[in-house]
Amino acid sequence: MLELLLRIEALVWKKYLEDRRNNNMAIIKIKQTKSRIGAPKDQKRTLDTLGLRKINHVVEREDTPSVLGMVEKVKHLVTIIK
């Protein structure tokens, strides 16, 4: 049973790495448009996690559910550039 799980995990990683090499993931650009001053700590940490440090700073991230969730959390401070 353990051997089967290890094989499945190896296949999942192989597929993930192939997708990364083939650039199948969509890239989105995120721009910080408003100041983090006065924002709650969790929103400041979310901006840090996204890599946004200053107003008008733009970063490129993969279009994954986790990144989209972070953008949704700070949607009043950022804009998506497609």
CATH number at 33 reads 3.30.1390.20
Whether residue 11 is contained in a domain is answered as: no
Mean pLDDT computed over every residue of the chain: 88
* % the chain with pLDDT above 90: 60
List the domain range (segments joined by +) for residue 35.
Answer: 25-81
| Spatial contact of 80 and 30, defined as CB atoms under 8 Å apart | yes
Q: How far is CA 63 from CA 10, 27, 44, in A?
A: 23, 6, 21
The CB-side HSE value for 22 (13 A sphere, CA atoms) comes to: 7
Going by the DSSP 8-state scheme, the letter that residue 56 receives in this structure is T
Strands (E), 8-53: 27-32
* The predicted structure's pLDDT at residue 5: 79
> Among 13, 19, 26, which residue's Cα sits nearest to residue 61?
26
